[in-house]
């Protein structure tokens, strides 16, 4: 199973390469209160051995920043705001693919679902998850959670 350090490494690399965003450790004073954090969530299910899901939570400001960088426009451009959620979905898609390869190698085959929005009611649960990874990117907190399903045992 992957570690938080491996998750951080993959997230850092992919956000830097795909979205030109650099991440850093989130300082304790900057950790948002999940009840007031204006974050949107996206999830991506994957199927294989193991199957599971990764969820990403980020503010609209971060989404707009990623979209602007991916589109090559300024953060003030209306297209950046309009495409923010799509940029999160695409980033998560790339992160999950690279994460699975980093953890399990090239041999296993995983099928990736489509990135989907996550209902805000899951934010507190994800925030409280001891395996959650909280990072700062351009002064915006981002949260990643991976949940794996146990593989069926062979009799």
Q: What integer pLDDT is reported at residue 2 of this predicted model?
A: 64
- Which tokens go with 126? 């994800």
Q: What integer pLDDT is reported at residue 138 of this predicted model?
A: 80
Distance CA 19, CA 127 (A): 24
Rounded to two decimals, what is the model's pTM?
0.90
Q: What integer pLDDT is reported at residue 125 of this predicted model?
A: 95
Q: What integer pLDDT is reported at residue 155 of this predicted model?
A: 46
Residues 6+ apart with CB under 8 A from 78: none
Cβ–Cβ < 8 Å for 134, 17: no
Residue 4: CB atoms within 10 A of its CB come to 14
- Which tokens go with 129? 């998850």
CA–CA–CA angle 109, 115, 116 (5° rounding): 140
For the chain, the domains span: 4-26+37-147
For CA atoms 12, 88, 45, 142, the dihedral sign is: positive
Distance CA 83, CA 30 (A): 26
Q: What is the DSSP letter of 48?
A: S
Q: What integer pLDDT is reported at residue 153 of this predicted model?
A: 59
CA–CA–CA angle 101, 149, 91 (5° rounding): 45
Q: What integer pLDDT is reported at residue 152 of this predicted model?
A: 58
Residues 6+ apart with CB under 8 A from 86: 67
Identify the H or E element spanning 14: helix 4-19
Q: What integer pLDDT is reported at residue 46 of this predicted model?
A: 97
List of the chain residues with pLDDT < 50: 155
4-26+37-147 CATH fold:
Chemotaxis protein chec (3.40.1550)
């Amino acid at each position: 199973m992957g570690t938080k350090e491996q998750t951080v490494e993959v997230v850092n690399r992919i956000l830097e390469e795909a979205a030109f965003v650099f991440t850093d450790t989130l300082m304790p004073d900057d950790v948002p209160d999940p009840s007031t954090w204006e974050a949107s969530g996206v999830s991506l299910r994957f199927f294989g051995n193991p199957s599971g899901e990764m969820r990403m939570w980020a503010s609209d400001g971060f989404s707009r920043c990623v979209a602007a960088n991916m589109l090559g426009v300024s953060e003030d451009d209306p297209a950046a705001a309009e495409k923010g959620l799509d940029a999160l979905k695409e980033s998560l898609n790339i992160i999950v693919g690279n994460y699975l390869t980093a953890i399990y190698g090239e041999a296993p085959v995983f099928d990736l679902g489509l990135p989907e929005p996550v209902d805000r009611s899951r934010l507190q649960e994800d925030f409280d998850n001891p395996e959650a990874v909280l990072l700062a990117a351009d002064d915006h907190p981002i949260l990643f959670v991976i949940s794996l399903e146990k593989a069926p045992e062979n009799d």
